[in-house]
């Protein structure tokens, strides 16, 4: 069975990957940790990684919470684990709280993991609309309408409103602050899923008026996968991070340090070590987000020089995930022997990896963090392929 990485020398343009690429010096430092699976457990005294002082996981989580404007944070098995922890909290909250029902509002361009987490926790989901082609924008008023709709139909408020900060389809930045103000007014808890933004651009939960923030370290914080974080405020931390109440009767054991919403202890391991090592770099790079966006918007203009190519979503674009309509490439695919696969393969031939194989009519990718020379190479590759 061959397990080889054929793309070690390629320019990576997969939008899932660009924010997660580790700095070289972090990769080097990881070599001293890689040999042992449970490498965060050497000096664990309390039986939960998030309480460890050596390596300083506890301190790191305090730093994470503070950096994102929250009061408390735990690391999780990816952002999906973070969203699951929130949904489980909400599922419990609505049982205990008669003013709320297990219906939650999720934005219509959410990542699938949001909907799966809701499904896992038995929550009913409803969606406000987006504005449709070609921008797919949200109107905060539609979230308000949905809250009212639930209130009228169920006689109770929705248990949660979820908004995806930058969505995975078009890379639109949602109007989280406006929606936050609405949720605050109704006293509906709100989660912002910042998997595609936290670690790339400045985020302050308090300013957003949200109760929960979920993050993906391997998507946007230069980390080994799988790792996420869930950040919350004082108000919600007690329920979100409640410790185990299990008490098996015969043995009388207790697991009082363990947090069920994060599987007792979320282990950490190499992903957590990598995130701790990368965090200073993450804090630094968010300061340069506007420079990145200038570069990216220039790239969008350049790419739209190709006949028929058009960016979908917000303009000017405010995020690095780019989704283009590419009729030109689709035409080529129609008479190419590799069909829709030609595009990703032509790019790979040119040393560029990350387009979804088989797609030619629409493409999604990112040039975040690439050097001007690399961005130019990507642009030229598209220009060349457009002439096939």
Site for a second copy in 343-372 (CB under 8 A): 353-354, 356-358
Tell me the three state secondary structure of residue 215.
strand
CB of 274 to a second copy, least distance (A): 8
Radius of gyration of the chain (CA): 22
The verdict on 268 binding a second copy (CB under 8 A) reads yes
Exactly one of 140, 171, 180, 271 binds a second copy (CB under 8 A); which one? 271
Half-sphere exposure for 271 (CA within 13 Å, toward CB): 22
One symbol per residue from 6 to 45: x for binding a second copy (CB under 8 A), - otherwise; what is it?
xxx---x-x-xx--xxx-x--x-xxxxxxxxxxx-xxx-x
133 binds a second copy (CB under 8 A): no
23: β partners: none
Residue 182 neighbours by CB under 8 Å, 6+ apart = 140, 143, 144, 147
> Among residues 70, 102, 128, 159, which is the contact residue for a second copy, using CB under 8 A?
128
Binds a second copy (CB under 8 A): choice among 67, 77, 143, 368: 77
Using the rule CB under 8 A, which residue among 50, 72, 73, 78 binds a second copy? 78
Q: Is 255 in the site for a second copy (CB under 8 A)?
A: yes
229 binds a second copy (CB under 8 A): no
Residues that bind a second copy (rule: CB under 8 A) add up to a total of: 98
Burial profile 48-77: b = 16 or more Cβ within 10 angstroms, e = fewer:
bbbebeebebbebbebbbebbbbbbbbbbb
Q: Which of 51, 69, 120, 302 binds a second copy (CB under 8 A)?
A: 120
Contact between 1 and a second copy by CB under 8 A: the answer reads yes
Residue 50 phi, psi dihedral angles, 5° rounding: -70, -5
- List 87, 106, 157, 303, residue binding a second copy (CB under 8 A): 106
Q: Is 276 in the site for a second copy (CB under 8 A)?
A: yes
> Could you say which of 60, 165, 285, 323 contacts a second copy (CB under 8 A)?
60
- State the nearest-atom distance from the C-beta of 250 to a second copy, in Å: 4
d(Cα 197, Cα 216) in Å, to the nearest integer? Answer: 9
Residue from 115, 297, 314, 376 that binds a second copy (CB under 8 A)? Answer: 115
Comparison of 108 and 202: residue with beta carbon closer to a second copy? 108
In the chain, where do the E strands start and end?
A: 11-12, 72-76, 100-106, 124-126, 157-164, 190-193, 212-216, 228-232, 310-311, 322-325, 352-353, 362-365
DSSP 348-368: HHTTEE-SPTT--SEEEE--T
Q: 144 to 173, contacts with a second copy by CB under 8 A?
A: none
Asked if 102 touches a second copy (CB under 8 A), the answer is no
Q: How far is the CB of 151 from a second copy (least distance, A)?
A: 18
Contacts of 357 (CB under 8 A, 6+ apart): 341, 344, 345
Provide the token pair at 77: 């098995």
Q: In whole angstroms, give the CA distance from residue 62 to residue 191.
A: 19
Given 68, 84, 342, 365, the residue binding a second copy (CB under 8 A) = 84
- Alpha carbon distance 156, 100 (integer Å): 5
Considering only 73, 208, 211, 218, the residue that binds a second copy (CB under 8 A) is: 218
Work out whether 2 is an interface residue with a second copy (CB under 8 A): yes
DSSP for residue 106: E
Asked if 267 interacts with a second copy (CB under 8 A), we say: yes
Nearer to a second copy, 354 or 386 (CB): 354
Q: In angstroms, give the least distance from the CB of 30 to a second copy.
A: 6
Three-state DSSP at 340 gives helix
Rounded to an integer, what distance in angstroms lies between the CA atom of residue 233 and that of residue 319? 26
Which residue lies nearer to a second copy by CB, 300 or 365? Answer: 365
Instruction: Give 189 or 354: the residue with its C-beta nearer to a second copy.
Output: 354
Min dist. Cβ of residue 26 to a second copy (A): 9
């Amino acid at each position: 069975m061959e397990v080889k990485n054929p793309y070690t020398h390629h320019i990576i343009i997969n939008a899932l990957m660009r924010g997660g690429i580790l700095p070289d010096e972090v990769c080097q430092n990881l070599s001293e940790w890689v040999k042992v699976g449970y490498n965060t457990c050497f000096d664990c005294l309390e039986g939960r990684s998030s309480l460890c002082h050596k390596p300083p996981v506890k301190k790191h989580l305090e730093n994470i919470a503070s950096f994102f404007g929250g009061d408390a944070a735990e690391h999780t098995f990816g952002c999906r684990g973070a969203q699951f922890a929130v949904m489980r909290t909400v599922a419990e909250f609505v049982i205990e709280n008669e003013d709320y029902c297990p219906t939650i509002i999720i934005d219509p361009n959410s990542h699938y993991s949001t909907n799966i987490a809701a499904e896992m926790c038995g929550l009913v989901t409803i969606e406000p609309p987006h504005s449709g082609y070609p921008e797919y924008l949200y109107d905060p008023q539609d979230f308000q309408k949905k809250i009212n709709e639930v209130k009228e139909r169920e006689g109770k408020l929705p248990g949660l409103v979820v908004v995806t900060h930058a969505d995975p389809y078009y890379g639109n930045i949602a109007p989280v602050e406006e929606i936050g103000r609405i949720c605050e007014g109704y006293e509906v808890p709100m989660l912002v899923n910042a998997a595609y933004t936290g670690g790339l651009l400045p985020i302050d939960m308090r300013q957003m008026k949200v109760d929960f923030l979920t993050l993906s370290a391997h998507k946007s914080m230069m980390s080994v996968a799988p790792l996420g974080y869930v950040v919350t405020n004082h108000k919600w931390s007690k329920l979100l991070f409640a410790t185990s109440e299990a008490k098996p009767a015969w043995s009388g054991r207790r697991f009082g340090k363990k947090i069920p919403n994060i599987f007792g202890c979320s282990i950490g391991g190499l992903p957590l070590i990598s995130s701790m090592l990368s965090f200073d770099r993450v804090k630094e790079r968010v300061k340069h987000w506007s420079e990145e966006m200038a570069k990216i918007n220039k790239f969008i203009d350049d790419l739209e020089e190709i006949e028929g190519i058009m960016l979908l979503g917000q303009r000017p674009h405010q995020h690095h995930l780019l989704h283009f309509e590419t009729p030109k490439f689709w035409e080529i695919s129609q008479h190419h022997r590799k069909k829709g696969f030609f595009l990703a393969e032509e790019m790979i031939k040119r040393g560029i990896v990350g387009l979804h194989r088989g797609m030619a009519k629409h493409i999604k990718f990112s040039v975040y963090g690439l050097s001007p020379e690399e961005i130019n190479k990507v642009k030229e590759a598209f220009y060349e392929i457009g002439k096939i």
